[in-house]
Amino acid sequence: MKKITIFLMSLLTLGQTTMAQLQTGTNTAVANTDAGKVRGFIHNGIYTYKGIPYAEAKRFEAPHKPKPWQGVRSSLTYGPVAPLQTPTVAVQDESEFVYNHSFGYTNEDCLRVNVWTPGINDGKKRPILFWIHGGGFTSGSSQELPSTDGESLAKRGDVVVVSINHRLNVLGFLDLSAYGEKYKHSANVSILDIKAALEWVKTNIANFGGDAGNITIFGQSGGGAKVNTLMAMPSAKGLFHKAINESGSFRSTIKDKKYTQEVAAEVLNLLHVEAGEVDKLQTIPFQTLSDAGTQALKNVNAKANAGGTGLAASLSASWGPSLDGEDLPYQIASKEAYELSKDIPLMIGTVKNEFMASLFTNKSDANLEQVKAIIKMQQKDKADAYMAAVKKAYPKDTKPTDLMDVDAMFRPGAVRQANDKSALNAAPVYMYLFTWQSPVMDGKYKAVHCMELPFVFNNVERCQEMTGGGKEAIALAAKMSDAWINFARTGNPNHKGLPVWPKYDAAKTATMHFDNKCEVLPQLDKELFDLVAQ
């Protein structure tokens, strides 16, 4: 009987502990915003708010402040995500297991912000990490990957983590500026949405325990490209103070107004809408509009290619920012853009394997002869020099597929950006390369695109399907998340868990390699990049 009593008491204690981890209720986690009160929940000591409107907008028009609401708005679950250019109707079983997406539900009214904070109304001024999701400029959301949940990062660093949804694809970038004043900003409303979210943070984040004077924008892949875009946006100056670009320096130029207006004209043509009837586009069903937009991009690119202008070779049939002459007057990598953001400290890097050939060609088990044949097909007469350059850069690699899996698409842009920005001799630049190899699925996913995210957000255990969740991964996550936290706090990622991480310059090329053993090395892949650039 005594043993049963002790057992029951243990269960009761465990239940109380578990319940204490989550606090909810009518008067729990209530915070103020300039549009009204919001109610979140507290989990593991972190106040969490999801789906708060930061702005609203009519289709193709610039965002503005949301209408105020009465009472307390429940903010317990993620809000709607932007409609997708290509709806997800099927997934590959194994890779979906690894990435474990949460696609959410779509609605054009998708301008929502999420906040994780250790405290509200406590007088503290915590650094803010403002996350911008990937997916290029056409897809993705703040909730898409479990790795980017902000709770663990907020708790580890006593920081405020913010993430957002915003307009994408044709809704975010169709340039109707030729058809009237209200569409003046239509070519870049997606980026204006992000700016509006930063303005929301500036106005409201003190109510969530954050410091509006210390905001770090960070994003991965398309999110990193959006970070670069914001740094080239004059009206966004002063809304953030540091920047982190993860695998997002692949976009070297943005489209000009002549091109984007031609695409818009083709959209109208495909939909049989006259110029004077352009307002009809605001009510056409999204999928009809999206399909016309996709076809218009293809048509305009094909026309440019047929005309021998070379334009099509530099453009993809996809949406993105454009030089509208007002919101975005400069190319991302121009002297003017670098001058605009010269005082913004930058952390920049990529992962070793990104969109690796073996995975995306279903050749993970290829032997050495098969690998050589693939490289020969890709690199032609440069194949032998290519393999030699890979071996020189990574002499410890042993798998045959390692020869074709080293990224040469994302990292060259990151190196170029780091070289250009550090040459300004203004704000510091810190370069990293994530080389840790995931053990999942017998190691076939290596350091694939997005692999660093669970480590940055200290979520490797939440993302065991991607990381394995082992002790080595947990230890590396502590080192990486602390680096991101310290950078957000001070503009310097160094901490006692890492070897000294020097500022980057084009001469010494100091690069932090994140692996089970973290070490600073000079650029190892210069010969490889010089070769593929030929």
pLDDT at 401 over 90: yes
pLDDT at 18 over 50: no
Give the CA distances from residue 208 to residues 111, 373, 486, in Å, rounded to whole numbers and listed in that order.
Answer: 19, 57, 20
Weakest mean pLDDT among 47-56, 242-251, 331-340: 242-251
Q: Region 220-243: what's the mean pLDDT?
A: 97
Q: Which CATH superfamily is domain 350-532 in?
A: Alpha/Beta hydrolase fold, catalytic domain (3.40.50.1820)
Weakest mean pLDDT among 19-33, 191-205, 397-411: 19-33
Beta strands in 6-111 (DSSP E): 22-23, 30-33, 36-39, 41-43, 46-53, 72-74
The structure tokens 């779509």 sit at 106
Query: What DSSP element (H or E) covers 96?
Result: helix 93-99
pLDDT at 1 over 60: no
β-sheet with 30-33: strand ranges across? 30-33, 36-39, 72-74
pLDDT at 252: 67
pLDDT at 311: 46
- The yes/no answer on whether domain 39-344 falls in CATH 2.120.10.70 is no
Encoded tokens for 57: 């907008």
Encoded tokens for 161: 């983590």
Pairwise CA distance, residues 462 & 263, whole Å: 42
Tell me the HSE value of 119 on the side-chain side, using a 13 A CA sphere: 10
pLDDT at 439: 97
Facing residues of 165 across strands?
112
Pairwise CA distance, residues 215 & 195, whole Å: 13
Q: Show which residues are catalytic.
A: 221, 354, 449
- The three-class DSSP label of residue 77 is coil
Whether 198 and 226 have beta carbons less than 8 Å apart is answered as: no
pTM higher than 0.85, yes or no?
A: yes
pLDDT at 253: 83
134-176: pLDDT as tens digits: 999 999 999 999 999 999 999 999 999 999 999 999 999 999 9
Pairwise CA distance, residues 72 & 38, whole Å: 5
Encoded tokens for 416: 């170029």
Q: How many residues make up the chain in this entry? A: 534
HEC string for 215-264:
EEEEEECHHHHHHHHHHCCHHHCCCCCEEEEECCCCCCCCEEHHHHHHHH
* Of residues 131, 142, 96, 147, the one with CA closest to residue 460: 147
- Which part of the chain has CATH 3.40.50.1820? 39-344, 350-532
User: Mean of the per-residue pLDDT values for the chain?
Assistant: 93
436-479: pLDDT as tens digits: 999 999 999 999 999 999 999 999 999 999 999 999 999 999 99
316-349: pLDDT as tens digits: 568 999 999 999 999 999 999 999 999 999 999 9
Q: Region 281-308: what's the mean pLDDT?
A: 91
89-110: pLDDT as tens digits: 888 999 999 999 999 999 999 9
pLDDT at 350: 98
* Of residues 186, 114, 188, the one with CA closest to residue 151: 114
HEC string for 188-202:
HHHHHHHHHHHHHHH
Pairwise CA distance, residues 362 & 408, whole Å: 19
Residues 6+ apart with CB under 8 A from 238: none
pLDDT at 6 over 90: no
Encoded tokens for 45: 């000591």
Q: CA angle, 416 as apex, 414 and 421 as ends, to 5°?
A: 95
The structure tokens 């949940």 sit at 149
Whether 152 and 459 have beta carbons less than 8 Å apart is answered as: yes
Q: Provide the 10 A C-beta neighbour count for residue 397.
A: 17
